[in-house]
Amino acid sequence: MAVMEDVAELAGVSAMTVSRVLNAPEKVRPETRARVLAAVQELGYRPNSAARVLVTGRSGVLGVVSFDTTQYGPASTLYAIERAARQNEYSVSIASLDALNRKSISEGVGRLTSQSVDGVIIVAPHESATDGLRHLPPDLPVVAVDAGEGVPFPVVMVDQHAGAARATRHLLSLGHRTVWHLSGPANWVDASARIAGWRSVLEAEGREVREPLAGDWSARSGHELGRRLAFEDDLTAIFVANDQMAMGLLRALREAGRRVPEDVSVVGFDDIPEAAYFWPPLTTVRQDFATVGRLAFQLVLDRIDGVLGERRLKVEPELVVRESAGVSPPG
């Protein structure tokens, strides 16, 4: 394995110059920097992480606490954070949790800090995470994604309320008298925000607000709830809290002989890659996970640099119109 002295010899510079190129490149002339980087690539040199900490005071490793990455939203968020980190020459160490409470979050963060991470991003989509987030070490650079209110450090999230409101307004604009809702689990921050956005539009328009039916994000739960709803006489429009449940709902409606969108219009949330290939193709709300990851990474870098604050940044979602939502049937 190549060491720093090998790079220095090949590039015709000192080991100290190689160190400057790797840790403070702006202090080295461009032509020298180019020679050193070419030698690094030719030899396949990888800096020693312990030495890097001694020189820069930073490990170049970002910790991420994640939860339930089997779900599209958390998995996409994690991928976006990893991508933003790689583009900025950071590696990522992940602590995957089975629960989001004070004890598990503390243990997960402890595992990461024992690896000398520079900062931590916590993907915290559960309401139960809020208490644990309030009790983290005050000197640790932390940013949260999808956290609830009252968190004492920056939070980045998609504006779930705005996305749900857009979906609901779209259905009302097609002439539907009201919109039913299949929600996510009650303890998820995103599910609660989507309920609030849906409800706010119906109340502002003076429309009837039916009690939402809660699923668990799975296609199975969407199918089960769809079987309960399929024969409601006044059912013409449904906003579903995620695309997986919408997929199950579409099957239930088809089994009941209800045509989509001729009899019932359906709008989902997430725009999973398969949504355009449902039958019919699903109108849904697209979340900009790439921007969430980029902002979360930039905010944690700010915290590492000592820039404090408790900002909540919201990323605007986009309504993607396809064929599953149409004009309200007559009558």
Is the pLDDT reported for residue 325 higher than 60?
A: yes
| Mean pLDDT for the stretch of residues 164-175 | 98
| pLDDT-derived band at 100, boundaries 50, 70, 90 | confident
Higher pLDDT, residue 27 or 286: 286
Is the pLDDT reported for residue 16 higher than 90?
A: no
Q: What are phi and psi of 292, to 5 degrees?
A: -60, -45
Neighbours of 318 (CB within 10 A): 12
Neighbours of 263 (CB within 10 A): 16
Ranked by mean pLDDT, the top range of 59-73, 97-111, 262-276 is 262-276
| pLDDT-derived band at 51, boundaries 50, 70, 90 | low
Cα–Cα distance measured from residue 6 to residue 225, given in angstroms and rounded to the nearest whole number: 65
Is the pLDDT reported for residue 104 higher than 70?
A: yes
Cα–Cα distance measured from residue 309 to residue 292, given in angstroms and rounded to the nearest whole number: 18
| pLDDT-derived band at 59, boundaries 50, 70, 90 | low
Ranked by mean pLDDT, the top range of 99-103, 135-139, 180-184 is 180-184
Look up the pTM and report it. Answer: 0.80
pLDDT at site 181: 98
| One-letter identity of residue 28 | V
Higher pLDDT, residue 225 or 83: 225
Residue with the two structure tokens 């919201």: 314
| Mean pLDDT for the stretch of residues 29-58 | 73
| Mean pLDDT for the stretch of residues 203-210 | 97
Higher pLDDT, residue 92 or 200: 200
Higher pLDDT, residue 196 or 78: 196
User: What's the Rg (C-alpha) of the chain?
Assistant: 25
pLDDT at site 95: 85
Closest CA to 162 of 197, 214, 138, 120: 197
Q: Which residues contact residue 67 at a Cβ distance below 8 angstroms, ignoring those fewer than 6 apart?
A: 74, 96, 97, 98, 99, 100, 123, 124, 125, 126, 129
Cα–Cα distance measured from residue 299 to residue 156, given in angstroms and rounded to the nearest whole number: 9
Where helices occur in the chain by DSSP H, the ranges are 4-11, 15-23, 30-43, 49-56, 72-87, 102-113, 129-134, 160-173, 189-204, 219-229, 243-255, 289-304
| One-letter identity of residue 233 | D
Contact 65, 105 (CB under 8 A): yes
pLDDT at site 273: 94
Contact 177, 328 (CB under 8 A): yes
pLDDT at site 50: 47
| pLDDT-derived band at 253, boundaries 50, 70, 90 | very high
pLDDT at site 54: 45
| Mean pLDDT for the stretch of residues 130-151 | 84
| Mean pLDDT for the stretch of residues 144-160 | 88
pLDDT at site 309: 67
pLDDT at site 164: 98
> What Cα–Cα distance (Å) separates residue 19 from each residue in 48, 88, 185, 288, 291?
11, 18, 51, 37, 32
Per-chain mean pLDDT for the chain: 88
Please provide the size of the chain in residues.
331
| Antiparallel, parallel or unpaired: β 284-286 and 318-320 | antiparallel
**Structure tokens, 180:** 């039913």
**Percent of the chain scored above 90 by pLDDT?**
49
